[in-house]
Amino acid sequence: MAINVQGLTAHACRDLLASREVSSTELTQAYLDRIDEVDGRIQAYLLVDREGALEAAAAVDAKAPDQRKPWEGVPIALKDVLCTKGLETTCASRILKGYVPPYDATVVAKLRQAGLVFLGKLNMDEFAMGSSTENSAYQVTRNPWDCDRVPGGSSGGSAACVAASEAPWALGTDTGGSIRQPASFCGVTGLKPTYGAVSRYGLIAFASSLDQIGPLTRNTKDAAALLDLIAGRDPLDSTSTGLNEPAGIPTRGDLEGLRFGVVSELTGEACDPGVREVFQSAVDAIESVGGVCEPVSLPSVERGVAAYYLIAPSEASSNLARFDGVRYGHRSKHAEDLYEMYIHTRSEGFGAEVKRRIMIGTYALSAGYYDAYYAQAQRTRTLIIKDFEEVFRRFDYVISPTAPSVAFKIGEKVSDPLAMYLNDLCTIPVSLAALPGISIPAGFSAGMPVGLQIVGPHFSEHGILNAAHAVEQRLALDLVPPLEEVCG
């Protein structure tokens, strides 16, 4: 049977396999064919593991279906920041070129155990530092809704891959918005779980107090299913706690009795007019199914970007100290002694943005500046947490646009780091407070997708997904990009 994978959800894949109409090998081959057809234009994949994927699919086909493993044989793709045993993992950096992890990240092990088929590894901003995926050392990923535009970042490969149906779903990671912002730019659903819901073991660290792994999918049902597959406490990550209750399958169709705070600081002048218009239509949709929306002020969120660009680079400067050319990855050939080897290895191996953040972090943590910068940023973080706590006494969820603009043109912001950072205005405060946040497509502005961000208290994933599901059902958007027209 010929399979058209365009627009196919993971749930639809599962149903096809369960009906025995299609084998996992046929389904996997259909996705590999799709990748062959479109990835030359989209450039979402850094590595396509044809052999491994077909082998895993054949193994599923060769045995009797396992009732405890409903997702067996369904393909998935992974952001290249996740360690995959025996499969090159580069973080889109030259410094990790050729690195083949000897172990699986916990999320990868869980998906392997559940029988999923890995199609390959997805492009990203180097070490997840960026908002456009232009900081990849290897290639520029394109937005499937307009190939002259960025897919967002840092999980731009994951978002573009799902939007272009090069995989039914994908894993990304989010430190300050790296799942939600690309989801918004590419018209897909992206969920950043509560900090601790998902183990970070085998996720190559950027900022350890913020990093979380989460799903990028075509709808809220797939996001919930994928979250439940990867969530859980892990002895290998002592900061992991798992979820209090499973996400379940969202079914909610109305929002009766729920109160949504509309964050004033993130919805006014901060956003482009086109984004504001689509956001207002999402507010109308929420109200039309019974939700109550009221403006709420969260003054501290305006300091979020400043606090984040001290905290995240500080943690990064420490985490990236491990890339020294001794144990893995690139080692410079132009060094007489050990000290020179460190310096040349790192200077040759890291890209400009990574170096910039290491410099900011090192400066902020250096003697004499620690209190003025890092400690002050951490106090600001406390302030943001308290502001959210206050708001959640009066509201069930807070909402805003996911990003202040639609996807921008490739090259538009590469020479202005600060302009790039401000793109994460709406998502960063949520990360600093360790809250769960989802971005779902809310509509289009001049043909480009606009995302709605729904944020809830810690461990409210079940609720967020159900609320998002109700909005998704009400909006009923067509989310298959006309690739032939826009990327011909």
Partner 1 sequence: MISREEVEHVARLARLHFDDEELVRLQPELSGILDYVQQLSELDLSGLEPTSYAVALKNVLRADVPWEGLTNEEAMSNAPDDERGQFAVPRIG
Query: Which residues lie near partner 1 (CB under 8 A)?
Result: 98-100, 102-103, 194-196, 209, 235, 238-239, 241, 303, 305-307, 309-310, 317, 321, 324-331, 335-344, 346-347, 350, 355-356, 358-360, 362-363, 366, 372-373, 375-383, 385-386, 417-418, 421, 432-434, 458
Q: Angle CA(241)–CA(244)–CA(248) in degrees, nearest 5?
A: 120
Which DSSP letter does residue 87 get? B
Judged by beta carbon, residue 86 or residue 482, the one nearer partner 1 is 86
Q: How far is the CB of 138 from partner 1 (least distance, A)?
A: 19
Q: How far is the CB of 105 from partner 1 (least distance, A)?
A: 15
Q: Which residues contact 108 (CB under 8 A, 6 or more apart)?
A: 78, 82, 83, 84, 85, 118, 202
Q: How far is the CB of 302 from partner 1 (least distance, A)?
A: 9
Cα–Cα distance measured from residue 191 to residue 308, given in angstroms and rounded to the nearest whole number: 20
What is the side-by-side strand order in the sheet with 170-174?
45-48, 117-122, 75-79, 170-174, 212-217, 189-192, 437-445, 448-455, 397-401, 259-263, 292-296
Judged by beta carbon, residue 379 or residue 394, the one nearer partner 1 is 379
> Can you say whether the dihedral through the CA atoms of 107, 110, 252, 463 is positive or negative?
negative
Q: How far is the CB of 413 from partner 1 (least distance, A)?
A: 13
Could you give the count of Cα atoms lying within 13 Å of 396 in the half-sphere of its Cβ?
18
Q: How far is the CB of 159 from partner 1 (least distance, A)?
A: 25
Cα–Cα distance measured from residue 316 to residue 321, given in angstroms and rounded to the nearest whole number: 8
What stretch of H or E contains 122? Answer: strand 117-122
Closest CA to 384 of 453, 285, 458, 298: 298
Q: Which long-range contacts (CB under 8 A, 24 or more apart) does 19-26 make?
A: 23/57, 23/61, 23/73, 24/57, 24/58, 24/60, 24/61, 24/72, 24/73, 24/74, 24/117, 25/54, 25/57, 25/58, 25/61, 26/1
Query: Which two tokens mark 433?
Result: 């407070």
Q: Which positions are catalytic?
A: 79, 154, 178
Cα 56 from chain centroid (whole Å): 25
Closest CA to 184 of 274, 306, 285, 252: 274
What stretch of H or E contains 295? Answer: strand 292-296
Judged by beta carbon, residue 164 or residue 341, the one nearer partner 1 is 341
Peptide bond into 154 cis (omega under 30): yes
Q: Which residues contact 85 (CB under 8 A, 6 or more apart)?
A: 101, 102, 103, 104, 108
Judged by beta carbon, residue 163 or residue 464, the one nearer partner 1 is 464
Judged by beta carbon, residue 35 or residue 358, the one nearer partner 1 is 358
Judged by beta carbon, residue 70 or residue 232, the one nearer partner 1 is 232
Q: How far is the CB of 459 from partner 1 (least distance, A)?
A: 9
Judged by beta carbon, residue 40 or residue 368, the one nearer partner 1 is 368
Judged by beta carbon, residue 58 or residue 383, the one nearer partner 1 is 383
Q: Which residues contact 207 (CB under 8 A, 6 or more apart)?
A: 175, 311, 312, 313, 315, 316, 319
Closest CA to 150 of 301, 288, 44, 287: 44
Judged by beta carbon, residue 65 or residue 417, the one nearer partner 1 is 417
Q: How far is the CB of 423 from partner 1 (least distance, A)?
A: 14
Q: How far is the CB of 389 from partner 1 (least distance, A)?
A: 11
Q: How far is the CB of 179 from partner 1 (least distance, A)?
A: 17
